Structure 1
Amino acid sequence: MKMKVGVGGTFNVLHKGHRTLLDRAFESGDEVHIGIMSDEYAEANKSLLVPFERRREMVESYALNKGVEFTIIEIGHPTELAATDPTLEVLIVSPETSTRASKINDQRRLAGLAPLKIITIPYVLAQDFRPISSSRIIRGELDEEGRLLRPLKVCVGTANQVKVEAVKDVLRKIYREVDVDSTEADSGVGLEPFGDDVLKGAIARARASLEGFDLGIGIEAGIQQGDDGLYDVQQCAIIDNMGWITHGHGPGFRYPPSIERELRAGRSVGEVVDEMFRLERNGHKGGAIGLLTDGLLKRKELTEQAVIAAMVPRIRLDLYRV
């Protein structure tokens, strides 16, 4: 007996998110019923509209290559097909329509029909980490693959220009266009965060810098206890408008015992390093790591590594957003 699967939508533009939805439908059954909203419904509920026949042609052209039997049905309401078809067994939905799927099953039970198995497909995100949508494409924000047609807007929660430049250098290797701004942001963890407070400070800075941007980025340097002493580690946190936080840290380096003793006595890293390296530090822009490595490694490079580590899940959305 054939497994019949239902999927539906307006399909104003057949974008990557729609294709993912349809692909899952074709993978889940032997026969797929595709409901496409009528012009009358779409005109009443959508601000932008492509005529039904054009939408049907786009979906049909894509479905013909899947090698699975399918039927395209014009529907006047989102629940029209799924709530009444006794032969349907599975319904493929997006997070946006998952609540409607529960209502469809309620209607089926009232009508004496078996409830559908609901498969919810995660949002397919654009480069700004918001869901791809037909309306955004028609407005010229994105292309059908979710690539931005404007610069990615980023704000870094710091007044430290070394950190800002590190973010710029990393993101410009990933995105075609990116605008990076900065703002003073309170970490909430004091000047010398220790242990878990380092990441907490980075997250607080990221949250405080997000408003009005695609990404808020927080970078916090702090002290971590290692088996053999105290280590300097930079944590980076990145938040988007969906509330997703990714974070990572750069390589840590151990402070020499003389600096560790002063830090445990309550003094700040900057104060101790300035005092210990006051002659060497004149004109030196590599930070403590630059002084400790005779310029072999600079603090900007450490920051870049932390930013890259925090970006890993965003670079490979296909592996992390499943």
Structure 2
Amino acid sequence: MKTVIVASENPVKVAVAEKTFAAVFPEEEFAIIAMKSQSGVGEQPFGEDTLIGALNRLKFIQKAHPEADYWMSQEGGLYEDEDKNFYNRAWMVVTDQSGFVAKSSTSLFYIPAKIAESVRTGTEMGPASDTFFSSVNIKQGIGTVGKLTDGLISREEYYLQASIIALSQLKHKDWY
């Protein structure tokens, strides 16, 4: 059984890792280990700090568990367009003992203006979304994207495609 360290204890991110490894390597078994990690960027990353945070989390868990077979990090953040609107994007980063680092990101979705206003004043998107939607701990459940799509795309599903793409790159690293 191979070991995968996930740079989060968030149940959504752990489930994404479990489903990703099962999909990309269906013939193998994995022990998925959740671990708190440090991003080295703000609690609410903006712009390229999102990718930097994902890479920093990866390094953190690699240092803590150098014996693992795989390490995966997932970092969501906000990007601002020319009209000062915010949109969400998450990065998936995965590596193995070879040292090849595979990266993929989710699609983008715009954040409602009221949530964006709250984020601008220093509130993290999860709590800002909880206030907007009158929900509790949205980021460990359906996610903001889930609310915005009436449950058609959960946060887990939103992360899953990008996560599968990243791990597939790692699986076929000789193509890159």
The two structures share one fold, judged by TM-score above 0.5? yes
> 2: distance between equivalents of 1:259 and 1:316?
39
Distance change (3 Å), C-alpha of 1:273 and 1:313: same
> 1: distance between equivalents of 2:72 and 2:116?
29
Distance change (3 Å), C-alpha of 1:178 and 1:317: same
Does 2:119 match 1:267?
A: no
Of all paired residues, the percent bearing the same amino acid is 29
Task: Tell me if structure 2 keeps the 8 A contact 1:158–1:185.
Answer: yes
> 2: distance between equivalents of 1:179 and 1:162?
16
Does 2:79 match 1:224?
A: yes
Does 2:140 match 1:288?
A: no
Task: List per-residue Cα deviations over 1:195-218 (Å, max 9, x = no partner).
Answer: 111011111111222222011111
Tell me the secondary structure at the aligned position of residue 166 of structure 1: helix
> 1: distance between equivalents of 2:74 and 2:169?
17
Does 2:15 match 1:173?
A: no
Structure 1 segment 123-272 matched on structure 2, within 5 A? 151-175=1-25, 176=27, 177-210=29-62, 211-228=66-83, 229-272=85-128
Task: List per-residue Cα deviations over 1:8-55 (Å, max 9, x = no partner).
Answer: xxxxxxxxxxxxxxxxxxxxxxxxxxxxxxxxxxxxxxxxxxxxxxxx
Larger radius of gyration: 1
> 1: distance between equivalents of 2:126 and 2:174?
41
Pairwise CA distance, 1:232: 0.9
Distance change (3 Å), C-alpha of 1:212 and 1:231: same
Q: Which AA in structure 2 matches 1:174?
A: V
Pairwise CA distance, 1:226: 2.9
Task: List per-residue Cα deviations over 1:226-253 (Å, max 9, x = no partner).
Answer: 3452111111111222322111111121
Distance change (3 Å), C-alpha of 1:181 and 1:170: same
Task: Tell me if structure 1 keeps the 8 A contact 2:24–2:168.
Answer: no
Task: Tell me if structure 2 keeps the 8 A contact 1:207–1:239.
Answer: no
Task: Tell me if structure 2 keeps the 8 A contact 1:248–1:309.
Answer: yes
> 2: distance between equivalents of 1:297 and 1:200?
26
> 2: distance between equivalents of 1:207 and 1:191?
18
Task: Tell me if structure 2 keeps the 8 A contact 1:251–1:305.
Answer: no
> 1: distance between equivalents of 2:41 and 2:23?
31
C-alpha RMSD of matched pairs (Å): 1.8
TM-score relative to the length of structure 1: 0.49
TM-score relative to the length of structure 2: 0.87
Q: Which AA in structure 2 matches 1:201?
A: G
Task: Tell me if structure 2 keeps the 8 A contact 1:250–1:309.
Answer: no
Task: Tell me if structure 2 keeps the 8 A contact 1:208–1:216.
Answer: no
Pairwise CA distance, 1:191: 0.8
Q: Which AA in structure 1 matches 2:154?
A: K
